[in-house]
Amino acid sequence: MKKIFRYTSIALLGAVLASCSTVPVSGRRQLSLVSDDQIQEQAAVAYKEFLTDSKTKVITGTSNAALVKNVGNKIAAAVNRYLAAEGIAQQFNFNWEFNLVESSDVNAWCMPGGKVAVYTGILPFTANEAGLATVMGHEIAHAIARHSMEQMSNQYAVQVGAQVLGVATSGKSSLLQGLVNNAYGIGGQLALLKYSRSNESEADQLGLVFMAMAGYNPESAVSFWERMASAKAASSTPEFLSTHPSDARRINDIQKLIPKAMEYYKK
């Protein structure tokens, strides 16, 4: 029994090591046990259902709606150029979409494949174009870093446990679909996957670089997060900050990351 356990553990470790991918910019290795293409397909369905849901009011024809699309497209174009220069653009064949949604919630998100929603409730805190770029750069970073895939891979690893062969079984597709459905609420109101604090910190890092690549001064990110910290102190925690690092730590970390991000801004 001990030998079986040892061999199973070795096999499981080998499977995990062979199922890793690298996050652009940060260079961190992450667990990759589920298909990112399948996640993107399911996320596209969920995004469409969200936009067409009777409870969702998509804002069009306004200056704010145009700003959301303009900032999003500028960041996406900059990210695409970076990925192409790194020779990895084929790994991120995103069909970008950017929409402004009427909601008092202080929130924004980006689903796998580049499906972005910005809620009107966060606009008073973005305050200007650079503030909006801070938010959208951060959310786009979640998609580029494949944080959804990583979280689902972690859940998948827990569900299959030590059953190493289960990773390659035909039931993988159905399990993946279940994970995506649970994360994105397909067939009902959108319920986004919660990222870990380490994922949120990494999204801050990549987000600063992405906004800088698009021509936005990353130093402006500090002002935005200070405004968000004030909102958090004045009321209950906004959804946008629910799983994020503490305000003081986040701002301090961002200030340390700015010099590196400025290298991309100066280019």
Sheet containing 97-101, strands listed edge to edge, beginning at the edge strand earlier in sequence: 58-59, 97-101, 115-119, 108-111
Asked if residues 33 and 157 have their Cβ atoms less than 8 Å apart, the reply is yes
- 3-state DSSP call for residue 70? helix
- 3-state DSSP call for residue 184? helix
Catalytic residue list contains 86: no
Q: Among candidates 147, 133, 119, 123, which has minimal Cα distance to 43?
A: 147
Q: Which H or E run includes 3? A: helix 2-18
Type of residue numbered 108: A
Count CA atoms within 13 Å of residue 85 on its CB side. Answer: 9
Q: Among candidates 121, 93, 112, which has minimal Cα distance to 47?
A: 112
Q: Which of 139, 150, 200, 202 is catalytic?
A: 139
Chain CA centroid to CA 121, Å: 19
Catalytic residues: 139
